[in-house]
A and B are shown apart, each in its own frame.
Chain A
């Protein structure tokens, strides 16, 4: 037992790169979990997907003109979010369709640029992240962005929640709905940028959806949902990083896999609404359930 504990926890922590990886996993997990609660409730789960793909042309172009990569990514992400909103409001196209068109288009532009222009970035690192290659500089950048984002989201959570629940009422009582809308999108973009280095485009999407979805299944009240989402994300960040070290596998996917596992458990055992619970409860019918346990 002690041996196992040693090789699983103590040994990895003696390496600098593992310490950084763990810290980044915690930071990225916490901030994306907080945002995921709002995304899941607002029906914006795929917004993370859209923005994270759309940052690619921004990364390449920033490299070309010599700007920090993060700035290019942030501008491109925000552009995707705003143009999605514009398309939705000014045409008959629904939001998910607009999102799909914008992000695939921008991702394609990014891929073309990427294949034509020599950069020092590896495509696979942008796509899947390189958790174990995070530097102290990266870590500080992530910490600052995650800290500020968390601070804003948590202090203003009631306004964001009201805006997500009933934007009309939010407007009626004089809340600045435009600011809340674009503020949430900007925080989302910047969080994605901060997470890219560690988990990559594809996995950041998972981290922006799964924790919120788990919280949603388990909680009846928003604050509880937020606490559950953030705890699950932080725990699976730590666990996933440690596991990836001991099995020598990719870190990001390990974290996401754990979150997916927790989601499945929540789906099956959630109090009141869990698939297995509903089956078991006397007098209730599991009629209409898509999956028989």
Chain B
């Protein structure tokens, strides 16, 4: 974080500092369904922010609104201080949707798809440079897909397809990355690799917004959390926002909820501390303490320094 934050910007560094401001965004779908109402939050450079909420709470809608794929009926999104269109033109944002809606029979190879991440950086004739090729190689290696690079894109498993599109986002080198449920359908090894990678990018000053249902891993790798349920309920540092009461509010009755306390947990009956287990997925989040308000392992950006 410190590496890039101290760099005097604009004058000699044309790459703007990543930031994301969502202000009072309201999104309505054509059928009249208001999926988000008056959502506001802001994120800065060197951040991994977790976007957490139940199914249908508007996580994917928020991503689409940030990308300008759905037009908010009210409010504004600014990326690195610019309007969305401007930021996209400058190739600042990489976005990996929850599900790719592409034709898997397309005559493109895995490496061609990853090269598409570089296309916005290429000149008029779109001829890949040596640097483009190198970045494609690196990105494929990062997601462990190098040996599949000559496969046609449809000849992959679901998780492998997902990794290819992640590699494309990496190759794009956007300073802002929006990942909509990158861990769904990928194995634990890949998940760990993705998280390691995000930590590294955070160290380089990138901004990442990641939606997930794995509540348990949120305190692990997110330094910021945005809680949504048809609006932004709370946003801020993980330790402050990712609390039991906030989560219960965000998830209503949907979470599985276990509590261990008293003699189940302690020899000393007077001990009031208890363990609370909340889960939306296979990975529960565990709270421990007097009122069970702190996540078991809150992460801070300096963890990986």
Name A residues whose Cβ lies closer than 8 Å to a Cβ of B: 41, 43, 155-156, 158-159, 161-162, 164-166, 168-169, 171-175, 216, 219-222, 224-225
Contact = CB atoms under 8 A, between A and B. Distances in A.
Nearest to A43: B103
19 contacts: A41-B107, A155-B125, A156-B126, A158-B126, A159-B126, A168-B69, A169-B95, A169-B168, A172-B95, A173-B88, A173-B117, A173-B119, A174-B88, A175-B120, A221-B107, A221-B108, A221-B112, A222-B112, A225-B107
Given A173-B120, A174-B90, A174-B120, A165 B108 contact: yes
Contacts of A165: 102-103, 106, 108, 116
Contact of A172 (B67, B100, B126, B152): B67
B131 interface: no
A15 to B, nearest CB: 40
Contacts of A161: 108
B102 A166 contact: yes
Please give me the 5 A-B residue pairs with the lowest Cβ-Cβ distance, nearest first.
A173-B120, A174-B89, A158-B126, A174-B88, A172-B95
A159 B116 CA distance: 9
Given A171-B68, A172-B93, 6 more contacts: A159-B119, A164-B106, A165-B116, A168-B101, A173-B119, A220-B109
A175 B119 contact: yes
Nearest to B89: A174
Contacts of A166: 100, 102, 116
B172 interface: yes
B97 interface: yes
B94 interface: yes
Contacts of B117: 173
User: Chain A interface secondary structure, helix, strand, loop or mixed?
Assistant: helix
B91 A174 contact: yes
Contacts of A221: 107-109, 112
Interface string B56-93: 00000000000111000000000000000000111101
A220 to B, nearest CB: 5
Given A172-B88, A175-B119, A41 B106 contact: yes
A220 B152 contact: yes
Contacts of B102: 165-166
Contacts of A174: 88-91, 120
A82 to B, nearest CB: 20
Nearest to B95: A172
A169 B107 contact: no
Nearest to A92: B30
Given A166-B102, A168-B97, A222-B108, A173 B91 contact: yes
Nearest to B102: A166
Contacts of B91: 173-174
Contacts of B124: 155
A43 B105 CA distance: 12
Q: Which of A173, A216, A221 has the most CB of B within 10 A?
A: A173
A255 to B, nearest CB: 25
A224 B108 CA distance: 11
Contacts of B93: 172
